[in-house]
Amino acid sequence: MRAVTTDLRVRYSETDQMGIVYHAHYLVWFEIGRTEWCRAAGIPYAEMERSGLYIPVTRVQCAFRRRSSYDDPIRVETRMAELRGRGCGFAYEVRTPAGDLLAEGATSHVFADPQGRPSRAPAGILARLEEFRSGPRGGSA
Amino acid sequence: MRAVTTDLRVRYSETDQMGIVYHAHYLVWFEIGRTEWCRAAGIPYAEMERSGLYIPVTRVQCAFRRRSSYDDPIRVETRMAELRGRGCGFAYEVRTPAGDLLAEGATSHVFADPQGRPSRAPAGILARLEEFRSGPRGGSA
Amino acid sequence: MRAVTTDLRVRYSETDQMGIVYHAHYLVWFEIGRTEWCRAAGIPYAEMERSGLYIPVTRVQCAFRRRSSYDDPIRVETRMAELRGRGCGFAYEVRTPAGDLLAEGATSHVFADPQGRPSRAPAGILARLEEFRSGPRGGSA
Amino acid sequence: MRAVTTDLRVRYSETDQMGIVYHAHYLVWFEIGRTEWCRAAGIPYAEMERSGLYIPVTRVQCAFRRRSSYDDPIRVETRMAELRGRGCGFAYEVRTPAGDLLAEGATSHVFADPQGRPSRAPAGILARLEEFRSGPRGGSA
């Protein structure tokens, strides 16, 4: 599956009194990974929402392997692990630029309309996402 | 002016690697103070938005006097310092339960419609807010 | 297992442009649940850290069942699902005050020293946690 | 005064139910601006803290001019407006890439030791900051 890579730096606001990144911020990094994956696929998520297609999170999991700290450069690798008419799933690896694994996780999503009701993604969008996700390893995003 | 008092506890997620509350979270506490002030005035802010009246922040200032830390009990005192047809202003004091001042600040707001355009608050709401804000010191909220 | 209940209200800052709570904030609510569970057990987490015992998160999962919105009252039920010398696990149910399930999740933790190295919790603390967690259903916290 | 420019994109987590950026996040962007200003000056803030020099915020103000939304590209221009032995001040302009002003603000800081007590910055660091801040307009950071 194609991976889209996003580079970040840890913000001071993302640390906690343990001196490391507060764990919930990894979910925000996953969200940034999804945003850049969709952009790389040619369908920016902001455009999807403007067209009435929402992709809320229904499930998340994350395993924290090593600590990260303020100002550390961070690399998020995002793959779309699953795609159906009713929803999709993403998988994430958060690494140092040298490749050491900091955390890995996954999110599940349903497609929804603006009122939050389950819906099906349009066939054209599904085809485009499917083509992109199964393609070769992608470049930086 | 009537003050509405809101009691909080510092969340772990609100700390940073300096071991104290990350400063931007005081603005969130101000927002909670506004929420409880409006509720005490009899017009919950959620209801205002549902009726189409938004009160976005146009200006904020805060002076940080003492540090606060994880799990500290915090008291926010909120007053509506100014009220006009086009907008309003709130003033805040963040204190320990013993009364020591931790921070003080102020926000300015305009009234807006759901699209973010400036609007006037309905006369009935203005009258109610005016009556409440100039009243005696309020109770806990 | 004993459940400790914590009541919250959704903050405006916790919403996103979908008009509902941004999913990562549920992890913050879990953290508040842990804080109140430890307090109810007689060992406030702030005291644990001051004594040199840290309990970082190593794994988290959450399933989102229903949406919650600004100003909604929220109830977090927290149980310590597992306790060993090297770490522990918590389980959470986030509900409306009427009991409808909004989300459920779990976190895994290791005991660590201030430098983040794995350590064992002192026997006295383990005994106290064990006694509390297996006790009768607890009251509000 | 030299300006250091930092480019960001609005995160989904930074929006609120008004459909725009929640105002407190501008303070986080200011913090990122400071981080990049210090890096451009040759003294990364993470290094300052490791050497025992902390720069906590004592005062912040921000005026919000235009709205910004999810996925918008954002440019933060940061200047060090004031530098004394006991503290310093930064000024910020948040703009669209086309130059439209979204927000402007300022922060005041004291120099402090790791325990949070006021201290003086070392003469070498002061000299370097002074030389950088009064220099020509800087490049992208």
DSSP B4-72: EEEEEE--GGGB-TTSSB-TTHHHHHHHHHHHHHHHHTT--HHHHHHTT-B--EEEEEEEE-S---TT-
Are C123 and C50 in contact, with CB atoms under 8 Å apart? Answer: no
Question: What pTM was estimated for this model as a whole?
Answer: 0.95
What's at D9, amino acid-wise?
R
Mean pLDDT in consecutive groups of 10 residues from the start of chain A, 141 residues? 97 97 98 98 96 97 98 98 98 98 98 95 96 74 46
What value, to the nearest 5°, has the Cα angle with vertex B72 and ends D108 and B92?
50
Which chain C residue has the Cα nearest residue A113?
C18
DSSP for residue A53: -
How close is the nearest chain B Cα to the Cα of D58, in Å? 5
Cα–Cα dist A80/A135, whole Å: 11
pLDDT tens sequence across C76-120 = 999 999 999 999 999 999 999 999 999 999 999 999 999 999 999
Residues of C with CB under 8 A from a CB of A: 17-18, 20, 23-25, 27-28, 31, 49, 54, 56-64, 67, 116
Which structure tokens are listed for C24? 């990562």
Cβ D12 vs Cβ C17: under 8 Å: yes
Q: What secondary structure, in 3-state letters, does D13-45 show?
A: HHECCCCCECCCHHHHHHHHHHHHHHHHCCCCH
Residue C61 pLDDT > 60: yes
Tell me the pLDDT tens digit for each residue of D14-73: 999 999 999 999 999 999 999 999 999 999 999 999 999 999 999 999 999 999 999 999
Sign of CA dihedral D14, D20, D26, D29: positive
Determine whether B100 is an active site residue. no
Model pLDDT for residues B35-50, shown as the tens digit of each residue? 999 999 999 999 999 9
Inspect the interface and report whether the beta carbons of A13 and D31 lie closer than 8 Å: yes
Name the catalytic one among D16, D71, D100, D113: D16
| Nearest by Cα to B59 from A33, D106, A81, D15 | D106
| Widest distance between CA atoms in chain A | 47
- Across the beta sheet with D4-9, the strand order is B4-9, B73-83, B87-95, B101-110, B57-64, D57-64, D101-110, D87-95, D73-83, D4-9
A117 exposed, middle or buried (CB, 10 Å; 0-12, 13-18, 19+)? exposed
DSSP class of residue C46?
H
Closest CA to A88 of A35, A130, A51: A130
DSSP-derived pairing of the beta strands D101-110 and D57-64: antiparallel
